[in-house]
A and B are shown apart, each in its own frame.
Chain A
């Protein structure tokens, strides 16, 4: 029944069940078409086309949550259940905000190929939605590749900036490498169970008591181990996280904002479907490794973030740390934990896009302007931006009554109830480190005087980029060989790399550009960060219903 026969004839309702995906696909194609007709200076209208498509798909998914039939489509290949639709909503929310943040920003960064940019962004969101809805290992992989291919290109989209190019290349190579693990794992799982359908795998494993000595045992173990590697790469769990800071810091900030959230939602929902549901009968086999990865991720992500002075990079590390908290829910493996995972993903989406949105508003054309020194005194220079950033950071730090607290609370609650008290304790302790680096930005914004300009603006225009170059070369030589690849400045040069540009260039020389769209995006995330934190009931209900369907 869960095998797609060659002669399968799709029914009308099959198409209806993937309507949000179809709308998004149509929007992406429409963007490409409209792009041909628009003159260069009117290109930002493309964002509106994209946003319209996203909104349409969002509304459609929201209606389907209430009114859809929540069945699988295309002979059990793809889910249209509440989990898929809730994931769709989160992904579409982040895609919509990514689009709203883009117009002014990508023009500032000298991106001319706007048609491709918006189309790729929509296609990445499409891939994410497919991955989160997948009911079959093959569809998981298809979704993963669709989203990854689009994101490789998007990461490298700022042609004039080496770091962006480097980010795209790194992401491409490492992600392909990890995809190999994932695909191999899927193949072995298929070999062990004879199934690629998630429900089929669950039924097969439920029916056979797993004996490691019997024929399929080692195959399955190897398969789930390799799949864990592939998924953990995508969700940037330690020790598969190394690409994350470099790619997130190098990619255009609007793309980072979108992908830091969207990829996580897609990959985590797929991971949860595969491990928490399909592989549930062999939970004892995969729990130890995911447990270790979760602990490593929480500790590593938080510890590494603690010394970052570049806020964009700090947020990249924070996304690693957050992956650790979500992994706690995966390891716990109960129905409550699944609901907690969905709640956490939603809360993370809301606040993280907002935080990246503020960084984006402050980023200068040369890609600088996002260090702690640039945030100094922001509370006086840009009151609105600083206040919004403070709310997002407080939420990320998990302070009630903001949404970040609701997410953390639910995940740790699920862990304690599900018998993983130790993970909850580690999670809370590492969150304390999180407080440090999140609140340090708030401290900088409100309690640090901005460094005064030492030279008149006209003099520094030419020399300004130099210190950056110096930092890169210094770091490179520290690494021991040539090439531009060095995203993490060496320790010795940190102070010069971060301080010199700030001191040399008056901070107010280039005021932050915030387009109306970006304001709208910030306002949306701000309102949701506060509102969902105070009244999380609706979100909890939605997630609980989604989880109860999956766990019967």
Chain B
């Protein structure tokens, strides 16, 4: 079987190094060309891998190559190995494919930014790290990719580093993600303690033959269900942080401070999907720990509903989308929790199409309005941005899960999996989760079309004449256009081809991208089944019931949005009561600030003012002075005279002799 995975990793890495090291002296065309072609070639490699895999019989589709021995210490042997199986193939296609489209889009979007080379080298690094994350064949290199993704997101969210808000957002994302990294590390320690290996295959083998140690050394204690539950929960901590689920979601909305292509990349292809991937990859561990799966489901469901309610009242165009991502990720986790690991991955793929497109459309709007992100100051843009409008609608329908758009099939698969699990289990939590799923579907329809209607229909509500171009975004100002006062939108026009073409491709995918997962003929489900197992599904009347119920819920949501925002101009009154509560995001950010950040800063101030200066600095200065003084003293022995040196040798020899005389 063809295995080009090393190239899928190597090309973006090469692109990162070349652009990162020499980009400053390159022209923009060269930079964009190198960065995009690196990802394009990686994507073509992934496609070649994929079709070569399809040509194999199902039993031969997994292929593990060891590139080199990385380190061996005691019983720990870690190889740099790349696993090419169905799951990593799908993930690599998404990462490189959607990643490539976002690269192309960035050529247009970032065209007049001074940090062009920096941006593209970081983008390549991001794709490399994500590809490493999904292609690694053991948990340690998964962690390397995991941390690499965290680093790249930090660099990109804080890309406009002269804006304090961007820097703060980058720092917030990094800190929250480190909590997840810590969980992953603890999980890895436990895995090594009990399995003596970090390779997926050997760990999963060890689980399937429970208590039959996979390595020569017996485990310190039998691998009980509790152990697996602990490992699964620690892995899930990592997933929660990376995929922005409750209660570690706070970084995701702030991450909007990065340039819009970065948001698209984070939300669609690279960053937040990592958590969903991790749970799917560790499916054997989670399957063996049913209690952990319940936790996954509850967190996923809670996040899904929580984020959807907040998205209903946000007024920043990108924040609405950010919360919708969190909500959709919650769906994926619910699906995985219900045993439908492949439904989670399926939704991940369709979500990648339409969410990338939604962000690109939002970017086009922001770009056209010279950096304006407040929906209250938009409106009536449909005539000025016709392509963007229709693509926004297409992706919005996919997000709201309307037949036959991509999101419909994948969301339906997830709801079917939850329904079927609820039937099979006595635990009422699954019924609650199903209800949450339906309710969230209605909310999703509402907030998506609230966004579309507010931005594109009605009349323009902005007071200022927008300046065109992203440079205005970077300068964080609205600039001064010189359009006529009579038509404030005279300057507003559709974005260029470099941005429209990737959008068009994604629009097609948002429409047809779900057909590989038609219920009971799910190509992607069958393809992933050898790795992730068969998802629970419904049959007969229940199947139609669930399908129509979710569709009806979404349509109701859209209908309410139409009534409130579509048919007439909506005036945005200052938020009060429940709306205010939602708009303030349940006050969770404020709570974290008060409970965690403020005390830590206070303790830090106390330590700085009292402990550091006297104790720590004083101590280290004292040590330094002692060493310095000793050194200066000893230097006097270094006289430069051969006779003194010879004497030193002789004294040394004499001391040795003396030692043996005294010592018996």
| Chain A contacts to B: CB under 8 angstroms | 169-170, 173-174, 177-178, 181, 212, 221-222, 225-226, 228-229, 232-233, 239-240, 242-243, 245-246, 288-289, 300, 303-307, 413, 433, 436, 475, 479, 483, 485-488, 491, 535-538, 540-541
Q: Contact check, B652 vs A229: say whether CB atoms are below 8 A apart.
A: yes
In the assembled complex, which residues on chain B have CB atoms less than 8 Å from the CB atom of A483? 641
State the 8 A-B residue pairs at the shortest beta-carbon distance, nearest first: A242-B645, A486-B640, A537-B69, A307-B631, A488-B638, A239-B652, A225-B656, A229-B653
Q: Contact check, B634 vs A304: say whether CB atoms are below 8 A apart.
A: yes
In the assembled complex, which residues on chain B have CB atoms less than 8 Å from the CB atom of A181? 649, 653
In the complex formed, the residue of A with least CB distance to B645 is A242
Q: Contact check, A289 vs B640: say whether CB atoms are below 8 A apart.
A: no
Nearest CB of chain B from residue A20's CB, rounded to whole Å: 27
Q: Which of A240, A300, A485 is the one whose CB lies under 8 Å from B640?
A: A485
Q: List 6 contacting pairs A-B, 8 Å CB cutoff, sorted by A.
A: A229-B652, A239-B649, A289-B659, A307-B628, A485-B641, A488-B638
Q: Contact check, A307 vs B632: say whether CB atoms are below 8 A apart.
A: yes
6 more contacts with CB within 8 A, not counting A173-B646, A479-B639, A537-B71, are: A212-B664, A243-B645, A306-B628, A433-B627, A491-B632, A537-B70
Nearest CB of chain B from residue A274's CB, rounded to whole Å: 16
Q: B637 at the A/B interface (Cβ < 8 Å)?
A: yes
Q: B571 at the A/B interface (Cβ < 8 Å)?
A: no
Residue from B73, B628, B630 having most chain A Cβ neighbours under 10 A: B630
B205-238 to A contact mask, C-beta < 8 Å, 1/0: 0000000000000000000000000000000000
In the complex formed, the residue of B with least CB distance to A225 is B656
In the assembled complex, which residues on chain B have CB atoms less than 8 Å from the CB atom of A535? 68, 70, 80
Q: B663 at the A/B interface (Cβ < 8 Å)?
A: yes
Q: Contact check, B645 vs A304: say whether CB atoms are below 8 A apart.
A: no
- A303 to B659 alpha-carbon distance, docked (Å): 25
Nearest CB of chain B from residue A531's CB, rounded to whole Å: 11
B614-650 to A contact mask, C-beta < 8 Å, 1/0: 0000000000100110111011111111101110110
User: Interface residues of B, CB < 8 Å — how many?
Assistant: 36
Q: Which of A212, A479, A538 is the one whose CB lies under 8 Å from B641?
A: A479
In the complex formed, the residue of A with least CB distance to B626 is A303
- A253 to B659 alpha-carbon distance, docked (Å): 39
In the assembled complex, which residues on chain A have CB atoms less than 8 Å from the CB atom of B70? 535, 537
In the assembled complex, which residues on chain B have CB atoms less than 8 Å from the CB atom of A436? 624, 627
Q: B660 at the A/B interface (Cβ < 8 Å)?
A: yes
Nearest CB of chain A from residue B270's CB, rounded to whole Å: 23
Q: Contact check, B68 vs A240: say whether CB atoms are below 8 A apart.
A: no
Q: Contact check, B649 vs A174: say whether CB atoms are below 8 A apart.
A: yes
Q: Contact check, B663 vs A288: say whether CB atoms are below 8 A apart.
A: yes
Nearest CB of chain B from residue A343's CB, rounded to whole Å: 12
In the complex formed, the residue of B with least CB distance to A409 is B73
In the assembled complex, which residues on chain B have CB atoms less than 8 Å from the CB atom of A537? 68-72
Q: Which of B627, B640, B648 is the one whose CB lies under 8 Å from A306?
A: B627
In the assembled complex, which residues on chain B have CB atoms less than 8 Å from the CB atom of A228? 656
Main secondary structure of the interface of A (DSSP, over half): helix
In the assembled complex, which residues on chain B have CB atoms less than 8 Å from the CB atom of A240? 648-649, 652
- A543 to B641 alpha-carbon distance, docked (Å): 40
Q: B598 at the A/B interface (Cβ < 8 Å)?
A: no
Q: B657 at the A/B interface (Cβ < 8 Å)?
A: yes
Q: Contact check, A225 vs B627: say whether CB atoms are below 8 A apart.
A: no
In the complex formed, the residue of B with least CB distance to A228 is B656
Q: Which of B69, B73, B635, B653 is the one whose CB lies under 8 Å from A304?
A: B635
- A491 to B72 alpha-carbon distance, docked (Å): 48
Q: Contact check, B642 vs A485: say whether CB atoms are below 8 A apart.
A: yes
Nearest CB of chain A from residue B72's CB, rounded to whole Å: 7
Nearest CB of chain B from residue A357's CB, rounded to whole Å: 21
In the assembled complex, which residues on chain A have CB atoms less than 8 Å from the CB atom of B637? 242
Q: Contact check, A233 vs B649: say whether CB atoms are below 8 A apart.
A: yes
In the assembled complex, which residues on chain A have CB atoms less than 8 Å from the CB atom of B651? 239
Q: Contact check, B659 vs A288: say whether CB atoms are below 8 A apart.
A: yes
In the assembled complex, which residues on chain A have CB atoms less than 8 Å from the CB atom of B71? 536-537, 540
In the assembled complex, which residues on chain B have CB atoms less than 8 Å from the CB atom of A306? 627-628, 631
In the complex formed, the residue of A with least CB distance to B651 is A239
Known: A491-B635, A537-B68, A538-B69. A239 touches B630 (CB 8 A): no
Q: Contact check, B660 vs A225: say whether CB atoms are below 8 A apart.
A: yes
Q: Contact check, B645 vs A487: say whether CB atoms are below 8 A apart.
A: no
Q: Contact check, A289 vs B656: say whether CB atoms are below 8 A apart.
A: yes
Known: A537-B68, A537-B70. A300 touches B634 (CB 8 A): yes
- A487 to B644 alpha-carbon distance, docked (Å): 13
In the assembled complex, which residues on chain A have CB atoms less than 8 Å from the CB atom of B645? 170, 174, 242-243
In the assembled complex, which residues on chain A have CB atoms less than 8 Å from the CB atom of B657? 222, 225
Nearest CB of chain B from residue A394's CB, rounded to whole Å: 18
Q: Contact check, B631 vs A242: say whether CB atoms are below 8 A apart.
A: no
Q: Contact check, A488 vs B635: say whether CB atoms are below 8 A apart.
A: yes
In the assembled complex, which residues on chain A have CB atoms less than 8 Å from the CB atom of B642? 169-170, 173-174, 485
Nearest CB of chain B from residue A253's CB, rounded to whole Å: 20
- A196 to B635 alpha-carbon distance, docked (Å): 40
- A169 to B642 alpha-carbon distance, docked (Å): 9
- A307 to B630 alpha-carbon distance, docked (Å): 10
- A228 to B68 alpha-carbon distance, docked (Å): 40
Nearest CB of chain B from residue A118's CB, rounded to whole Å: 29
Q: Contact check, B660 vs A222: say whether CB atoms are below 8 A apart.
A: yes
In the assembled complex, which residues on chain A have CB atoms less than 8 Å from the CB atom of B639? 479, 486, 488
Residue from B624, B640, B652, B663 having most chain A Cβ neighbours under 10 A: B640
In the complex formed, the residue of A with least CB distance to B69 is A537
- A305 to B634 alpha-carbon distance, docked (Å): 10
In the assembled complex, which residues on chain A have CB atoms less than 8 Å from the CB atom of B80? 535
- A229 to B659 alpha-carbon distance, docked (Å): 13
In the assembled complex, which residues on chain A have CB atoms less than 8 Å from the CB atom of B638? 242, 245-246, 304, 487-488
In the assembled complex, which residues on chain A have CB atoms less than 8 Å from the CB atom of B68? 535, 537-538
In the assembled complex, which residues on chain B have CB atoms less than 8 Å from the CB atom of A221? 660
In the assembled complex, which residues on chain B have CB atoms less than 8 Å from the CB atom of A433? 627
- A488 to B633 alpha-carbon distance, docked (Å): 13
- A125 to B473 alpha-carbon distance, docked (Å): 63
Q: Contact check, B634 vs A303: say whether CB atoms are below 8 A apart.
A: yes
In the assembled complex, which residues on chain A have CB atoms less than 8 Å from the CB atom of B624? 436
In the assembled complex, which residues on chain B have CB atoms less than 8 Å from the CB atom of A233? 649
- A288 to B631 alpha-carbon distance, docked (Å): 25
In the complex formed, the residue of B with least CB distance to A218 is B660
Nearest CB of chain B from residue A399's CB, rounded to whole Å: 17
In the complex formed, the residue of A with least CB distance to B640 is A486
Contacts of B66-81 to chain A: CB distance below 8 A: 68-73, 80
Nearest CB of chain B from residue A435's CB, rounded to whole Å: 12
In the assembled complex, which residues on chain A have CB atoms less than 8 Å from the CB atom of B646? 173-174, 177
In the complex formed, the residue of B with least CB distance to A484 is B640
- A300 to B73 alpha-carbon distance, docked (Å): 32
Residue from A232, A535, A537 having most chain B Cβ neighbours under 10 A: A537
Nearest CB of chain A from residue B657's CB, rounded to whole Å: 6
In the assembled complex, which residues on chain B have CB atoms less than 8 Å from the CB atom of A486? 639-640
Residue from A307, A479, A485, A487 having most chain B Cβ neighbours under 10 A: A307
Q: Contact check, A307 vs B69: say whether CB atoms are below 8 A apart.
A: no
Nearest CB of chain B from residue A314's CB, rounded to whole Å: 11
In the complex formed, the residue of A with least CB distance to B647 is A242
In the assembled complex, which residues on chain A have CB atoms less than 8 Å from the CB atom of B634? 300, 303-304
Known: A303-B634, A475-B640. A178 touches B660 (CB 8 A): no
In the complex formed, the residue of A with least CB distance to B634 is A304
In the assembled complex, which residues on chain A have CB atoms less than 8 Å from the CB atom of B73? 413
- A229 to B663 alpha-carbon distance, docked (Å): 18
In the complex formed, the residue of B with least CB distance to A185 is B653
- A469 to B69 alpha-carbon distance, docked (Å): 56
Nearest CB of chain B from residue A41's CB, rounded to whole Å: 37
Known: A170-B642, A225-B656, A304-B638. A178 touches B649 (CB 8 A): yes
- A384 to B20 alpha-carbon distance, docked (Å): 16
Nearest CB of chain B from residue A494's CB, rounded to whole Å: 9
Known: A173-B642, A436-B624. A541 touches B653 (CB 8 A): no
In the complex formed, the residue of B with least CB distance to A229 is B653
Nearest CB of chain A from residue B129's CB, rounded to whole Å: 16
In the complex formed, the residue of B with least CB distance to A491 is B632
- A428 to B68 alpha-carbon distance, docked (Å): 30
